[in-house]
Amino acid sequence: MSLVTPEAFVLGMSALGAACTGLAAVGIGLGQGFAAGKAVEGVARQPEAQGDILKTMVVGQAVAETTGIFAFIVSVALIFINPLVGML
């Protein structure tokens, strides 16, 4: 005799896994904040290079964001198109 059905268990665990992908946001927050801080330092030192610094910072932050986007897609797949329930 079991308390939860297998479907409920798989769905609950999927939700837990989707929540855990939010941990990826910690690293991105740190990385993007660090990049922005360094960009501010650069602008304070050389105000005339603001355009170039902004351009480089935005592109660098976009590349740093990639892992978080992958984590987000995994969580979306787990929540909305759960592939694990079909495996039962």
Give residue for tokens 């939860």. 4
Distance between CA atoms of residues 21 and 78, nearest Å: 10
Shortest distance in whole angstroms from residue 35 CB to another protein: 14
Q: Of the two residues 13 and 76, which places its CB atom closer to another protein in the complex? A: 76
Rounded to the nearest whole angstrom, what is the least distance from the CB of residue 74 to another protein in the complex?
10
Residue type present at position 86: G
Asked if 76 is part of the footprint of another protein (rule: CB under 8 A), the reply reads yes
Nearer to another protein by Cβ, of 4 and 59: the residue is 59
The residue range among 13-21, 22-30, 31-39, 57-65 that interacts with another protein, by the rule CB under 8 A, is 57-65
Q: How far apart are CA 81 and CA 61, in angstroms?
A: 29
How deeply is 43 buried, as exposed, middle or buried, from its count of CB atoms within 10 A (0-12, 13-18, 19+)? middle
- Token pair listed for 43: 């602008």
- Given the rule CB under 8 A, which residues bind another protein? 55, 58-59, 62-63, 65-66, 69-70, 72-73, 76, 80-81
